[in-house]
Structure 1
Amino acid sequence: MTMFSNGFATLQMPKDFEPIATKDEFNDMYLVNTTIPMSIKFSTTPTLVGLPAIKDDIEKNIQNNDKITLIASDFIPINEDIYYMIVSSFSDGENEIRRNEFLYVEDNNLYIFEYTYPYADRELDDFYLDVIRSLKIIVPKYIVEDGSYKLNKEE
């Protein structure tokens, strides 16, 4: 088993997935498996709002985008925590793509797991949950104060 760690969080990387370098400030890990094909993105962003407000914003944005179809949206327990799960689909013109997202807020940090794969694939609930359950937060990545944020660096 391969573990991902960035000094702020650790999690298990699924077998047969390759890391892809990304320059997005908030993207902590981006993995792909071209044989499935599937991508997994793990991100952390600073936030001052909780999951109910995030849920409302996401659902409003989806309603305003006719290319995305909302399949499911709900709060679910994972381990001892409450996550917001949203399942949606969209078409790139040739393929129908499914995206399953799991969001969690702790210490003004929003943790996002995003799984994207061809819509026709089987349900992968245990696969998603195994990766999410492996998340261990070492320290918050961002310190949010006075309406702004900074990277949490030991000083």
Structure 2
Amino acid sequence: MFTNGFSTLQMPKDFEAVNAKDEFTELYLVDTKIPMTIKFSTTPTLVGLPEIRDDIEKNVKTNERITLIESDFVLINGTIYYKIVSSFSDGEKEIRRNEFLYVEDNNLYIFEFTYPYADRELDDFYLDIIRSFKISVPKYIVENGEYRINHE
């Protein structure tokens, strides 16, 4: 189980934690046998999922290396998430990325699953991780166009 005092989620077996490279990445996991990476991030935001969807779709359409496979709102545990499935090429391999985004209390929660093939069998795998997600308190408090970590 992963917890940072703000949120918790179930970590899958056989994945190893890797040091995060940016301040918003809460958890970065790697399984070299599959190979697959899982990234969980929290960022402050002042916009909702419709605006986030519009921005992402606009950015994907302007990047020739990314192919948009699916972009839609989905219901998980009674909560609306924005799901975007894309693939991109590094010139040698095609990589698939499934992202699930959720906004609550000016906090954007992002689940990103990246692997080198399209496999519908993985749907339950990553949905089980998202279903285990619980928010204790919002990590960020956004006020007057600025954000700070919630120390309450």
Cα offset, 1:67, TM superposition: 0.4
Counterpart residue number, 1:107: 105
Counterpart residue number, 1:38: 36
Distance 1:130 1:22 in 2: 23
**Judging changes above 3 Å, is the alpha-carbon distance between structure 1 residues 80 and 121 closer, same or farther for their aligned structure 2 residues?**
closer
Q: Given residue 55 of structure 1, which amino acid in structure 2 is its aligned partner? A: R
Matched residues, number: 152
Distance 1:23 1:40 in 2: 14
Cα offset, 1:120, TM superposition: 4.5
> In structure 2, which of residues 107, 122, 125 is the aligned counterpart of residue 124 of structure 1?
122
Q: Does 1:82 align with 2:43?
A: no
Cα offset, 1:110, TM superposition: 0.3
Counterpart residue number, 1:9: 7
Counterpart residue number, 1:29: 27
Give the TM-score taking structure 2 as reference length.
0.98
Cα offset, 1:122, TM superposition: 4.8
Distance 2:118 2:87 in 1: 11
Distance 1:56 1:92 in 2: 25
Distance 1:123 1:66 in 2: 28
Distance 1:100 1:120 in 2: 10
Q: Given residue 63 of structure 2, which amino acid in structure 1 is its aligned partner? A: N
Counterpart residue number, 1:152: 150
Distance 2:59 2:134 in 1: 30
Identity of aligned residues (%): 77
Q: Given residue 35 of structure 2, which amino acid in structure 1 is its aligned partner? A: P
5+ residue gaps, structure 1: none
Give the TM-score taking structure 1 as reference length.
0.96
Task: Report SS of the residue matched to 2:34.
Answer: coil
Q: Given residue 151 of structure 2, which amino acid in structure 1 is its aligned partner? A: K
